[in-house]
Amino acid sequence: MRLLLCLLLLLPALASADPASYAEREDVRAFVAEMHERNGFDNDELLHLFAQAQSLPVVIKEIQPPAEPGIRSWQLYRSRFVEPRRIRAGAKFWQANKASLARAEAQYGVPREIIVGILGVETIYGKHNGHFQTFSALATLAFDYPPRAALFRGELEALLLLAREEKRAVLDYRGSYAGAIGMPQFLPSSIRQWAVDFDGDGSIDLSSPADAIGSVARFLAEHGWEKGGLILTPAKADGSRIGELLAEGIKPQRTPEQLAAFGVTANDAPPCPAALIDYVTPEVPTSYRLGYNNFYVITRYNRSTFYATAVYELAETVKAHLTPRP
């Protein structure tokens, strides 16, 4: 009797811990109706998929900004990516994929070291592609994370379209907690728009080094990469107007003469537009560089200037590692 009473008391808690299937929710059913109307998906097939999707609280935990943001530190950030393990892995990846890297550079104009830098920062050349079921991760973010629900409903739609185009089971895709897939961590919409079958096997597989290499190169080229263009150059910044310049953002728009009026100078700066980029580290004087068009293009991959600079520095370090010394 006592055991039965305990079980009865536990029932409400157990029920609340087992949320309704996504297929039973009105917002999901409305999404399914939209997918039928807009893309011709079968309602019952989609509801069957959503009945199999799992709500993943860890996904929401991972994507939420920290309650107390950490102190911005370029030196700390850099140490996570420009470090011996990634440098060695980058050199090994470069050697193993020389032909694909050379072909991507010739076809898209993007230096092979930049491609290597991005793949190293993103996943250490496929070592950390992610293990989450992409459909469940995106469903969780699309329907249980209101701040970015619109974005992730769009990615969920893109995943469904991608699976149909690739004749692949939707539930087979695996990736990051945010729904990014493969070695270059493309979201489904980016795969549909930018990814390429660079190894010519008839399908796009972003766990394939060749497809990853070609897809990264195409992404950067389509976002305005200038062959042979500058990326970053060191700069000196003094004066009371530096804050104004930084507030303008990272899109290159100031000539050397205009930058000088703000107290910013750089040795042998070309006449092309640049933006001032700052590198803050606690208890260390802030350093500055000028970012040119190709630096801005890298930030289209990830909006962080720290990210783009880590890609650039890892790229240059791996390249130097492979360059014979005199």
Positions annotated as catalytic residues are 122
Range 232-321 classified under CATH 3.40.640.10: no
Angle between helix 26-39 and 134-144 (nearest 10): 110
> What pLDDT is attached to residue 69?
76
Whole-number pLDDT of residue 158: 98
**Predicted pLDDT of residue 14:** 34
Concatenated DSSP letters of 240-305? TTHHHHHHT-SS--B-HHHHHHTTEE-TT--SS-BEEEEEEETTEEEEEEEE-HHHHHHHHHSS-H
Please give the single-letter amino acid code of residue 305. T
pLDDT recorded at residue 19: 53
The domain spans of the chain are 23-63+128-193, 232-321
Q: What's the DSSP call for residue 220?
A: H
Q: Three-class SS of residue 148?
A: helix
Residue type, 262: F
Res 66: pLDDT: 84
pTM for this prediction = 0.91
- Cα-Cα-Cα-Cα torsion 301, 307, 313, 319, nearest 10 degrees, comes to -40
**Tens digits of pLDDT across the chain (326 residues):** 343 444 333 333 333 334 569 999 999 999 999 999 999 999 999 999 999 999 999 999 999 988 777 889 999 999 999 999 999 999 999 999 999 999 999 999 999 999 999 999 999 999 999 999 999 999 999 999 999 999 999 999 999 999 999 999 999 999 999 999 999 999 999 999 999 999 999 999 999 999 999 999 999 999 999 999 999 999 999 988 999 999 999 999 999 999 999 999 998 888 999 999 999 999 999 999 999 999 999 999 999 999 999 999 999 999 999 987 66
Decide yes or no: CATH 1.10.8.350 for domain 23-63+128-193: yes
Predicted local confidence at residue 326, as pLDDT: 65
Tokens 């911005």, residue located: 72
Nearest to 107, CA basis, from 224, 228, 217, 229:
217
Sign of CA dihedral 67, 306, 220, 247: positive
